[in-house]
Amino acid sequence: MARQEKLYQAVIDGNRENVKKLVKQSLDQNIGIEPLLYDSMIPAMREMGERFSRSEIFVPQMLISARAMQAGLTILGPILAQSEREAPLKVAIGTVKDDLHDIGKNLVAIMLKGAGYEVIDLGTNCSIEKYDEAVEQGVNIIMCSALLTTTRDYIKKVVEHYNDNNAIKVIVGGAPIDQKFADSVGADGYGKDANEAVKIVEQITATQ
């Protein structure tokens, strides 16, 4: 599926209303959600990151694009989250401590809901104490998202914290994370993107 140029540009421009309008139009034209996300909206965010790295834009522009992306997700989210499952299994997801990026985390949460899981969203800047609160509510899959190389090391602390508890599985993901990193910290699973995150949760819950 080709990139939807207008949608891509609207995310880059941070034009919330246009993003919402174009997402609705694309859905009306039966363009699938995944191509919209993976061929247009996410690449636009990536482009903003690259421009930021080259100092062509600054934090406010990244933030404005992020808000436009979130506006699009408010339309796509409820559609993606429709599920038939009757007795949902619970998972908890949060972006790790000191990290405020939440778009990828939100996307993973939406896709998990769509796959029939009950998702406790712990938000951003998520400390071990917050994950523990979810464990107290009966969650045994903890999902850690990190977007910064400076915050991904917190994942190691979370994994170590649950090392002695075989019932708790920790799944990790986010732009600076790869399988090698996940293995090096001893995580129970790694998802490259939201789809893979759902697959790994399904594999783990199938064996529980």
Burial 89-111 (b: 16+ CB within 10 A, else e): bebbbbbbbebebbbbbbbbbbb
Q: Which residues are CB-contacts of 86 (< 8 A; sequence separation ≥ 6)?
A: none
Q: How far apart are CA 100 and CA 16, in angstroms?
A: 20
55 near ligand B1M (CB under 6 A): no
Count of residues that bind ligand B1M according to CB under 6 A: 38
Task: Give Cα separations from 101 to 13, 43, 94, 96 (angstroms).
Answer: 19, 16, 10, 9
In this structure, what DSSP letter does residue 41 have?
A: I
The span from the first CA to the last CA of the chain, in angstroms, equals 37
Work out which of 7, 12, 48, 155 binds ligand B1M, going by CB under 6 A.
48
> Structure tokens of 49?
């990151």
Residue 82: both structure tokens together: 């429709």
CA-wise closest residue to 40 among 60, 59, 25, 56: 25
> Nearest approach, Cβ of 106 to ligand B1M (angstroms)?
8
Contact flags string 159-178 toward ligand B1M, x per CB under 6 A: ------------xxxxxx--
Query: Distance between CA atoms of 67 and 2, rounded to whole angstroms?
Result: 24
Q: Considering only residues 27, 75, 148, 204, which one is a binding residue for ligand B1M as defined by CB under 6 A? A: 148
The 105-144 contact track toward ligand B1M, x by CB under 6 A, reads x-xx----------------------------------xx
Candidate segments 12-20, 24-32, 59-67, 161-169, binder of ligand B1M by CB under 6 A: 59-67
> Of the candidates 4, 15, 18, 145, which one interacts with ligand B1M according to CB under 6 A?
145
Per CB under 6 A, contacts with ligand B1M among 65-84 are 66
Q: Report d(CA 13, CA 124) in Å as an integer.
A: 25
User: What is the smallest separation between the CB atom of 199 and ligand B1M, expressed in angstroms?
Assistant: 10
Q: Exactly one of 22, 103, 115, 126 binds ligand B1M (CB under 6 A); which one?
A: 103
Choice from 18, 26, 102, 116 touching ligand B1M (CB under 6 A): 102
Binder among 27, 33, 62, 204 for ligand B1M (CB under 6 A): 62
Query: Which residues are at the interface with ligand B1M (CB under 6 A)?
Result: 42, 45-46, 48-49, 52-53, 59, 62-63, 66, 98-105, 107-108, 143-145, 147-150, 171-176, 191, 193-194, 197
